[in-house]
Structure 1
């Protein structure tokens, strides 16, 4: 089918029955130049000859392609590999690793071990590698004992002040140096350790005497744990240079800084030769005044290891008799001058908020032992100011009056009219909003309604009656 047989009759030769070659047979005869026609062999025309030569060339090309493909398939099958796509086809260039830029020797990259998702060249055996904690397949349980270290970056200058200043201000309230040391250990101070003593001293200069005493203790306890003596020396060097600016806010800064230096040298927080370093090399008069103050204090206390009283005795450490005497003197000066602000300032300087009930007690007793309406009005005014400013709290006010209630029997031995005077005073304080209604009702009254008029109109008391005796007993029982 589709071919010609040699025994078939040729086209146009049916009458004589002469057989001729078919076109396929003519293609096989490469050297044929003649064509058998109806009348016998004839010579080809030039067009037919050109067409015949073109057919022969196409046939030779097809035969060459069939031969080459057959040989390549035979070689691949002999090697046991599967037949791949033709080299010239686009499919064959999909996984070709040879350079398309015409560079290189045409070999695959990295010897076949490169590329995404490639485990390496065939036959390569890898050695032991340390596990990486950033590996998604990392298993910390299978690694044994793991040590975790927290890396804290070093604080900048602004961050250091922002973190240390609240610590120092809070330390002024609780006075626990160990807590401050724990908080400072949690910060990476680095090369800025010297800024901690400088900041603490600067805050203490603007505070009270008790704050300066606490700061001196803090510097002594920080040495050897958080800072070194040289760090504290660097801090005081800086503050001596900054004295012209510190004086603007604290005029007594040179004297205070000299006391800080003397206390630090006595506590071995500063090197013993700190003052010797400045001999003959100080040009600033303020720095010279501070160093002279420190030298004088150390010369006076040369036989004492610690200058414990350089800032005075703190309020909580003073004897009770001394505090009572100070408050009594405060009230007497107020009655003479009448300056409420000065009395308030003196009470704050004592720094004993837990002992303010003594002031209330002394003020009430002083009114009961006095005479006239002037001291009464002044004391009520003072108590009202202290109450409104919050300097004397509700608890301290109640405790002061309750102490008077409890000792009223002893007070009445010296002041017979103490019950009536106290009742008038309590009523006046309640009207001014100083005490509560419960505290007013708790006042023990011996003769209710016996006193008519003001403080100066108290006269002879009527004789006690049965009703008054019963009321007295009820009041004392309450």
Structure 2
């Protein structure tokens, strides 16, 4: 085959211009493209068809044209010319490359490694915080820095809290005192006040606490006296206490409008403060001959009387009493027994209700019901029986004693009736009558009435029955 091609070339020489890589313009270009189009059908799937009309010259021209098209196509990535299925040359378009091997829009690493994560784990670049978990060391001061100031080397920076003014002071301290009335922890109040910059308002703390206690319960006044005793020395000074009580005495005419008994209560606070050594012993003596207000004079007289009584054995440290569960159970039981005895003597149910409410132990009212029923079982006349029924009815109607506390009181008597019967032989019989009357008056319900125990006993019947022993109950 090679020998035949060489012989043919020697017989028909080919000019150099015909073997160039580029086509000529004009007619020559059209002629050569026509030759290419004419003989393109002689190749099918890359195989040359044998024909007498084909020439090696035309084949070489076509091969060069195809090589040129392949070269432009790979260089321009789809922007060059291409060859159609019919062998025609198609000029390239400006379509974007879609080949997966194209690197125009490739975001992968050029080195062929990495997982697409940010550089340096996110610790590189401008305006970043650094790698997570990184600990920064103290930065050394550059003395050559134009902003360097030698005077700032030994500076100590502290948080400055501005002092409280009168308006902010009342809004800040009032919730602290009111929360103290609930938890009763003086250490917590001292810590909260130490965090505040009280400034000139330091002496206003005792007067604010006392003014809030005047409108509260007796137990809250006792807590206030304890608070003043614990704050004196650690947070407040004795001069602050004296200035605060001076302000209270001056404001008594205004305090009386909201609390009519303010002079007597303030006098008790002053006596308690002197007893706790918060105020000096000569504090009351310093006001002699200098008092024009009748309310101030009444408060000082009350304080002086209490101090004189303390010399005779009166305990001023317990003048307010203790409220709620802070008192021992034995003391509460004694006070309830005294309350019942006073009620039996006076018959004033309103006073008994007030005294029971002042005890501030709604969770312990079942003890009051228990003691009242036991008093009825131990009594001999009907007076106590009727008066206790009326008192329990009144307390139940006014909801001072709840249904649950009333039920627990009756159930406790049911449980202890066997022991009570040892001292009171007729206890079962009296209890059954008392429970029936309580049900008829609406104090208890039918379920609680049916739970009332009854004791069976041996009773010898009359001689007409033959002396048979029968078991019966009351």
When normalised by structure 2's length, the TM-score is: 0.55
Residues 387 and 434 of structure 1 are in contact (CA less than 8 Å); yes or no, is this contact kept in structure 2?
Answer: yes
1:230 aligns with 2:239: yes
1:357 aligns with 2:351: no
1:252 aligns with 2:246: no
Residues 259 and 293 of structure 1 are in contact (CA less than 8 Å); yes or no, is this contact kept in structure 2?
Answer: yes
Q: Which residue of 2 aligns with 1:217?
A: 226
User: 1:444 Cα shift?
Assistant: 1.7
Q: Which residue of 2 aligns with 1:142?
A: 136
Pick the aligned partner of 1:184 from 178, 183, 193. 193
Pick the aligned partner of 1:294 from 271, 281, 303. 303
Residues 214 and 265 of structure 2 are in contact (CA less than 8 Å); yes or no, is this contact kept in structure 1?
Answer: yes
Alignment of structure 1 residues 66-145 onto 2, 5 Å = 142=136, 144=138
Q: What CA distance in whole angstroms lies between the structure 2 residues aligned with 1:334 and 1:240?
A: 38
Q: What CA distance in whole angstroms lies between the structure 2 residues aligned with 1:446 and 1:377?
A: 24
Distance 1:371 1:298, change over 3 A: closer
Q: Which residue of 1 aligns with 2:377?
A: 368
User: 1:180 Cα shift?
Assistant: 2.3
User: 1:236 Cα shift?
Assistant: 0.8
User: 1:426 Cα shift?
Assistant: 3.0
User: 1:202 Cα shift?
Assistant: 1.4
1:330 aligns with 2:339: yes
Q: Which residue of 1 aligns with 2:318?
A: 309
User: 1:201 Cα shift?
Assistant: 0.9
1:407 aligns with 2:416: yes
Residues 275 and 317 of structure 2 are in contact (CA less than 8 Å); yes or no, is this contact kept in structure 1?
Answer: no
Residues 198 and 235 of structure 1 are in contact (CA less than 8 Å); yes or no, is this contact kept in structure 2?
Answer: yes
Q: For structure 2, which runs of at least 5 residues remain unmatched after alignment?
A: 1-126, 140-155, 460-466
Residues 420 and 447 of structure 1 are in contact (CA less than 8 Å); yes or no, is this contact kept in structure 2?
Answer: no
Pick the aligned partner of 2:174 from 165, 169, 174. 165
Q: Which residue of 2 aligns with 1:194?
A: 203
Question: When the two structures are aligned, how many residues end up with a matched partner?
Answer: 321
Q: For structure 1, which runs of at least 5 residues remain unmatched after alignment?
A: 1-135, 451-461, 473-478
Distance 1:149 1:396, change over 3 A: farther
When normalised by structure 1's length, the TM-score is: 0.55
Distance 1:149 1:401, change over 3 A: farther
| RMSD, aligned CA | 4.2
Residues 230 and 271 of structure 1 are in contact (CA less than 8 Å); yes or no, is this contact kept in structure 2?
Answer: no
SS at 1:225's partner residue?
coil
User: 1:342 Cα shift?
Assistant: 1.5
Q: Which residue of 2 aligns with 1:345?
A: 354
